[in-house]
Structure 1
Amino acid sequence: MRLLFLMVLPLMLIAKVHSVKVEPLQIYHIKAAASGEVVFSDYTKESQVVHDAVIVGIDDKIDRATLKNIQKKTNNLQSIIKITKDSLQTAAAVMQIKRENYERIKNLSTKPRYEKNMRQAEYLAARQNYLATKEKLDNLLMQLADLQLQLTKTKDVISKKNPKISGYVYNIYPRVGDFVAMGAPLVDVADITKAKVTLYLSPQEIEGIKEKKIFINGKRVVGEFITLHRITDTNFITQYKAEIAIPAPKIFGKIVKVEIK
C-alpha cells in the first residue's frame, strides 16, 4: 500500500502543474455603433500600440453639417434670449412704475374717475406686456434645451462613427469603401499592460489559496487573481476556473507552466 502511494504521489504533484497560454489581460471587440460607409481605415496601425487614436472612421459628413447648423441656430437663439431677458427686466420695471402710479391715486377722491381708469389701463397693459415677454422667454429657453439635446445627440453620433482606441491594435476589419451595419466588427484591441493566464484548479488547490504563491516555469511571480470561481466549471466539472494577472511578457501566446503552492 505504501509503495502504491509513493508511485501515485509524483502523479499528484505533476497534476498541479498547469500548462497554459499567456494572453493579454483583456481583448476588446470594438463594434460599429452606427451604420454607414467606411471612409477611413488605418491598416498601418495594426500590431501597434495606440492612444486615443481613430483607426476606423464611418462617413459623418451629413452629421457634421447638421452639427454646424445646430451650433449656428444655438448661437443665434442665445443672442435672442439675451435680448429677451433684457426686455423682460425693462417690462418688469415699467410694470412696477405703472402699478405704483395706479396704487397712488386709486383711492384718492380728488382724482377724477377717468384718470384712475387711465392709470389702471396703463398698469394692466404693462403687466400684459411683462407676461407676454416672460412667456416668450420661456418658449425660447425650451427651444434652446431642444437644440442642446440635438447638439449632444449629433456629437454622440459623430463620436460613435469615429471611435477612439487605446491599446494594442490586434485586428482591423473593414476597409475604405465597405458599408458596415450597426454591430459590425471594426477593431480588436488588446490591453497588454499586463498578461493573464487561465487555470482550472482542483479543490485542493483552491483550499487556502490566498496564502499560496504563484510560480511560472518554476519562478515565483507577483500576480493577482482577477477571477476565482467558487462554483465548478461547466466543462471541467470537478475544477474551478481562475484567471491570474501577471507581468506582461515581451511576446504573448507562449505556453508556460503555472503552479499554485
Structure 2
Amino acid sequence: MADAGKVAVVTGAGTGIGRAVALTLHNAGYRVAVAGRRKDPLEETLAMAKATEDTMLIAPTDVADPLDVRALFKSVNQSFGRLDVLFNNAGVGAPAVPMEELTVEQWRKVVDINLSGVFYCCQEAIQLMKSQDPKGGRIINNGSISAHTPRPFTAPYTATKHAISGLTKSIALDGREHNIACSQIDIGNAATEMTEAFAKGVLQADGQKRPEARMDVQHVADAVLFMANLPLDANVLSMTIKATTMPYEGRG
C-alpha cells in the first residue's frame, strides 16, 4: 500500500494504459489526478475507481500546451498539497506512411505531445517536488519498445520515444540532489484499444502483415505501481515489459 497521503498525476488517464495505471494507483491508496484532453473519459475513470473528489481529481489537460500543464500542477498542489509520483503516459502516433509523405503538422503534433508535453510536465513536477516538505518524488515516463526498435513507418513516434530515453536519464542525473528519481517503462503490446488491430495483423519489417500477441494491460499497471512504491533511495531506471512472443528480440 502507498503511504498515507501519497499523490500521483497520470496523463492520458482517460483510456488504455493511463486509465489502468490510475485505477491501480488509486486502489493502492494514492490520491490521483487524472489528466487528459477529453473530460468525459476522465469522468469514466473516476466512476470506475468509485472515487470521490478527495481521492481523485479530474483535470482536463492538453499536455502540448504549457499553460494547461501549469494549471494542472497548480490544481494538484491546491487540492492535494504535494506530488509524489508523475506518470507521463499521454502520447500519439502519426499515419503509418513513408516519412517523406508526412506533413509538418503531423510531425509537430507527435513531437508536441510525446516529447514537449513530457518536458512541460516534468518541469512543473520538479518545481513542485523541490519546494515541498519533505521534498522529492518520482517521475515515470512511458517509453515504448520503439524507444529501442522501430516499427515500419513510425519515424515521428520512434524519434520522440528515443528522446524520452535521453530525457529520463538527464532527469535521473539532475534530480539526485533534490531526491527526485526518474524511470522509464517500455511497453510492448498491452491489450488496449490502441492495439486491438495487432491481433488481426500489423505491418512487419519484411513488408508482411502478421498477428501479434498482446498481454493484459494490468501487468503494466502493476509494474508501474511497483516502480512508484520504491523508496526514493532505489530506482528502476529502465524496465521493459512486453507480450512474451511479440516480435522484438530479433525483430525484422
Please give the range of the TM-score, normalised by the shorter of the 2 chains.
under 0.3
Using CA pairs under 8 Å that are at least 6 residues apart, name the structure with larger relative contact order, 1 or 2. 1
TM-score (norm 2): 0.18
TM-score (norm 1): 0.18
When you count strand as a share of all residues, which structure comes out higher? Answer: 1
